Chain A
Amino acid sequence: MNPAALIIIVVLLASAAVALSLRNLVRAALLLTVSWAGLAAFYLWAGAEFVAFAQVLVYVGAVSMVVLFAVLLTRPAPTDPPPPRATYGRVLGALLAGSAVGGLLCGAILGTPLPSSPGAPPALTVREIGRQLMGVHAAALLVAGVLLTVALLGAIVLAAAPGRRRSPDAP
């Protein structure tokens, strides 16, 4: 494990933690983009270039933009009262649950004899990935395409539904 991976992991975790504790949603979304880019850098470091590029395209490029659009579209009006702060009981409960799950996971990871074969990464070319996607996993690829189409059409229908709050005599 070289220091580059350690730096990537520290940046990834720190930006994610800071992003999700911010109150400003736009800043949170932008910092999470840093976290997703760090994840892509980790994939690059691990030797999975194709996954790293998919991560950059989908998360850093698309999902962050969709999140920013959602933040802007759901912005409260200036006349709305400011949202109340989170209650301490809720935050404390969440921290307790998170640390319990984290402790459980760390104990399981450190107590399991894991295989250590720090050799070269498995030889995998984009050609081989394409061959597998079009061959063995062709049905799964089709299903994923149908799922994406249906989900995006559904998202458009949900987000573009006309408001029903209009008074009946309005045009």
Chain B
Amino acid sequence: MNPLQLCLLASSGLFCIGLVAALARSNTILVLLGLELMLNAANLNFIAFWRYGHPGAPATGVIFVLFAIAVAAAEAAVGLALIIAISRHQRSIRLQEAVTLKG
């Protein structure tokens, strides 16, 4: 098998694990971790294409991944702050109980 195909298959597996976690779990923190895993799968794709794809600009994939990691860090911080705010208001972080946003 092509190494690029193997990398892409691993990335698809990671994406599907994150997707199943984000859909099936009702704990908000685990849903957020599933989203993070999906972002990581996208990063893995970028690196795989940078390594094995057509040789183009030599730094594009790496720089894209660096920006994606920065944005994912911001997303994680804001998401966890929202979870803390929700848990303070509703005394629970189950998604099914967080049905109102008005504080």
Residues on A close to B: CB < 8 A? 1, 5-6, 9, 12-13, 16-17, 19-21, 25, 28-29, 32, 35-36, 39, 42-43, 46-48, 50-51, 54-55, 58-59, 62-63, 66-67, 69-71, 73-74, 76-77, 80, 83, 86, 90-91, 93-95, 97-99, 101-102, 105-106, 109-110, 114-118, 121-124, 128-129, 132-133, 137, 140, 144, 147-148, 151-152, 154-156, 158-159, 161, 163-165
Contact = CB atoms under 8 A, between A and B. Distances in A.
B26 A122 contact: no
A39 B50 contact: no
B59 A129 contact: yes
B47 A51 contact: yes
A20 B34 contact: yes
Nearest to A154: B78
Given A48-B50, A106-B9, A133-B63, 5 more contacts: A16-B18, A19-B33, A39-B43, A99-B16, A117-B53
Interface of B: 1-10, 12-21, 23-27, 29-30, 33-34, 36-37, 40, 43-44, 47-48, 50-55, 58-59, 61-63, 65-67, 69-78, 80-85, 87-89, 91-94, 103
Contacts of B9: 106, 109
A86 B23 CA distance: 11
- Chain B binding site: helix, strand, loop or mixed by DSSP? helix
Contact of B10 (A13, A77, A124, A148): A13
9 contacts: A1-B6, A51-B66, A51-B69, A70-B80, A102-B13, A129-B59, A129-B66, A148-B70, A155-B77
